[in-house]
Structure 1
Amino acid sequence: MTRFPSSVYDSRVRRAAELAKSAGLDALVITPGPDLRYLIGSRAQSFERLTALVIPADGSTASVVIPRLELAALRESAANELGLEIRDWVDGVSPHEMVAAMLPSPARTAVADAMPALHLIPLTETLGAAPVLATEVLRELRMTKDADEIAALRRAGAAIDRVHARMGEFLAAGRTEAEVAADIGRAIVDEGHTAAEFIIVGSGPHGADPHHEVSDRVVQAGDIVVVDIGGPVEPGYNSDSTRTYSIGEPSSEVAAKFAVLERAQQASVESVRPGVTAEAVDAAGRDVLIEEGLGEYFVHRTGHGIGLSVHEEPYIVAGNSMTLTEGMAFSIEPGIYFRGEWGARIEDIVVVTADGCESFNNRPHGLTVL
């Protein structure tokens, strides 16, 4: 399955126009990236030649401005089934002027946050006014997942769980992080993903760096190892799950601190329900760590939204007073990090349900001894 039925995209484009109008805009101009894939199912890439979906806020027919030599990139999308006007162009023609000709002058527009500067600057000059980001307009659509999106995220969660279940095949003393990661990458694809989007194997002191990737460090007996992995499943929805492993029995100190982290992660998960704020979910787990004297070692937000992008709204972080609603999907991933020594993180993807949440990841949360 490469995309959803065309009716899904038709509804999204219509709703995007309505939201643009409510925001006082004349149009949305969406270049290749997650927003374009969300709206019409297109996997077109961004090059030096402009490709853009133009959605007028007045509800008139949307158009795709695209280089003639890139027309094949629309074949897998819903563009033709939606009846979008395809406006192709050849070298020597200004696509930015083509966009401007569809809109009033000066036009009030919003652009995809993935639009390259080489298109944003000339488009701004041609339109006669600086656009705003479409993120504020589209986030209401992208944050709330429908049943098909939730099913895709559920498949992604199950697929990455199967990879974690095989970690004993890959992770062992005497192997380098890079060797472990190579095996994990193959398993991610074997278990149903289209690619490995990211792999973190943080062994020993490297586990204290939340964004460590992999290195040639040799995994040693006694190491605590953070494994954070994920990737997309068709039609492009991502998994993201972290589990922490111990190469041999952990010390009593490590086990005790990890047990607190496990309680913190559970507290945040149990706090999720409609009407609760994003910052309250962050606080639920963070407070557990603070009470046990570990608060200073939790150095990042509790979570991030997920869908066609690995990181998207809503962000589960202090200061975000956004109220959670049914269908929002995001990670819950508290961690503790002791610089130069070890680190640990537990991460699940959850979706808000009518009376709580469903977790897409169901591997054991405890410190797994290998």
Structure 2
Amino acid sequence: MGTDELYPADRLAAARRATAAAGLDALLLTPGSDLRYLTGYDAHAGERLTCLVLPADGEPTLVVPTLERPAAEASPAPATGVRIVDHADGTDPYPLVRAALGGPVAAVGLADRMWAEQVLALRALLPDAAQRLAGDVLRELRIRKSPAEVAALAEAGAAIDAVHARMGEWLRPGRTEAQVATDIAAAIRAAGHVTADFVIVAGGPNGASPHHGTSDRPIGAGEPVVVDIGGTMPSGYRSDSTRTYVAGGPAPAEFTDYYAVLHAAQRAAVAAVRPGVPAEAVDAAARDLIADAGYGPAFLHRTGHGIGLDGHEDPYVVAGNSRPLEPGMAFSVEPGIYLAGRHGARIEDIVVCTTDGVTRLNTTPTELIAL
């Protein structure tokens, strides 16, 4: 899978057309996933300005610090047709942005997560231009993954599955969550990820907090442990998968009862995925089963989030999102049940909506795993 497949040159043309259709004169993108999506350049975010200037009807220009020009030139960006200009350390880069914009500018789209100091500098540069979110333009391009992007997500899924498959090497009673997490983080990188983006190891009552992280609390025998892990691959695409484990003894009967409910709910939600189904219907497929079993209030979060160059992106699988699913949409299906002060469980797969149904990109077992 070459970078020309993951980051094709025609994306810039599509983005220019979408920019014009949105009534914007240009997009201004600082380092982040939108910049990488359009150019393949994984730019460093720092106090020195890096900005892709994408006029609706002009040549795209990548403004970079001189010391980062070699990295920009070594990236896929030049092959996409982007012109690179650089600014020497200590000089004002904003005139280069203005020159790259060309003629009059009435409205620009800014990277959704641009730093405030850059937003304000661009407001001073273009005092008469309305500022809007570039995400409103680029979301529709990014929400449907190309075959190359699906392959990249599948590669990420296989890499994180390989880490879950090794959990018995690390997770055992008496070890702390933090000790287990250190081993997992190293394994995430060893499995092919560039970075380990998050490692949640949540034993016993900590498992009832969906975003717990880790602690120095030892894992107890027979205690449910939620392990939610993910990282970024060299392609830029992300992994994210959760499994729930029990080590050193049988789980509490109450836990095994509701884990069976959760398992059925996660399978039902995955099975509900197909083109034309509203995103909220996938959420309902899981939530209704959990609520019918009496655990509705214990399912604290949405069923899923999109994934790609960002760990969380559109589409969101949540009540109120009536958008129909389309082939190429990739997202998590991760219902959970959390009993405060006792324990919790979550099962998470990344899936892709296909032309006639769904493909799971995580293929490890979703049953309760006894180590």
Query: What is the Cα deviation at residue 48 of structure 1?
Result: 1.3
Q: What is aligned with 1:95?
A: 93
Cα offsets for 1:150-186 (capped at 9, x unmatched): 1111111111111111111110001000110111111
Distance 2:336 2:250 in 1: 20
Tell me, in whole angstroms, the C-alpha distance in 2 between the residues paired with 1:125 and 1:323.
41
- Please give the residue correspondences for 1:207-246 in structure 2 after superposition, counting only pairs within 5 Å: 207-246=207-246
Q: Tell me the equivalent position of 1:337.
A: 338
1:73/1:173 CA distance change after superposition, 3 Å? same
TM-score for both structures, normalised by structure 1? 0.96
Paired residues of 1:41 and 1:76 also in contact (CA < 8 A):
no
Distance in 1 (CA, whole Å) between partners of 2:295 and 2:102 is: 55
User: Amino acid of the residue matched to residue 67 of structure 2?
Assistant: L
CA contact (8 A) 2:7 2:76 kept: no
For 1:184, give the aligned amino acid: I
Alpha carbons 1:26, 1:103 under 8 Å: kept? no
- Letter aligned with residue 39 of structure 2: I
Q: Which amino acid aligns with 2:43?
A: A
User: In structure 2, what is the Cα distance between the partners aligned to 1:201 and 1:300?
Assistant: 18
Q: CA-atom RMSD, angstroms? A: 1.5
Give aligned-pair identity as a percent. Answer: 53
Moved more, 206-215 or 249-258: 249-258
Q: What displacement does 1:115 show?
A: 1.1
Contact 2:299 2:335 in 1 (8 A): yes
Distance of 1:123 and 1:97 partners within structure 2: 10
| Structure 1 residues 169 and 91: alpha-carbon distance in aligned structure 2, compared to 1, 3 A threshold | closer
CA contact (8 A) 2:204 2:342 kept: yes
- Give 1:24-173 correspondences, 5 Å limit: 24-58=23-57, 60-91=58-89, 93-101=91-99, 102-128=101-127, 129-173=129-173
8 Å Cα contact 1:198-1:230 kept in structure 2 = yes
**What is the CA-CA distance between 1:360 and the residue it aligns to?**
0.5
Q: Secondary structure at the match of 1:320?
A: coil
Tell me the CA shift for residue 79 of structure 1. Answer: 2.6
Distance 1:7 1:214 in 2: 34
Q: Is the 8 A contact 1:201 1:213 kept in 2?
A: yes
Letter in structure 2 aligned against 1:177: E
Shift of residue 100, structure 1, vs aligned partner = 2.7
C-alpha deviation, 1:98, in angstroms: 2.7
CA contact (8 A) 1:173 1:218 kept: yes
The CA deviation at 1:80 is 2.2
Structure 2, unmatched stretches of 5+, are: none
Q: Aligned-pair distance for 1:94? A: 2.9
TM-score, normalization by structure 2 = 0.96
The secondary structure found in structure 2 opposite 1:75 is helix
What SS does the aligned partner of 1:202 have? Answer: strand
- 1:172-230 Cα deviation digits (max 9, x unpaired): 00100011011111111222222211100000110011001111000011211000001
Deviation by residue 1:86-134 (Cα, 9 ceiling, x = unmatched)? 2222245432233234244443110111211111111012112341111
Assess, with a 3 A threshold, how the Cα gap between structure 1 residues 195 and 8 changes in structure 2: closer, same or farther. Answer: closer
* Equivalent residue pairs, number: 368
Answer whether contact 1:170 1:180 (CA < 8 A) is retained: yes
Q: Is the Cα–Cα contact under 8 Å of residues 6 and 148 in structure 2 kept in the other structure?
A: no
Matches within 5 A, 1:199-210: 199-210=199-210
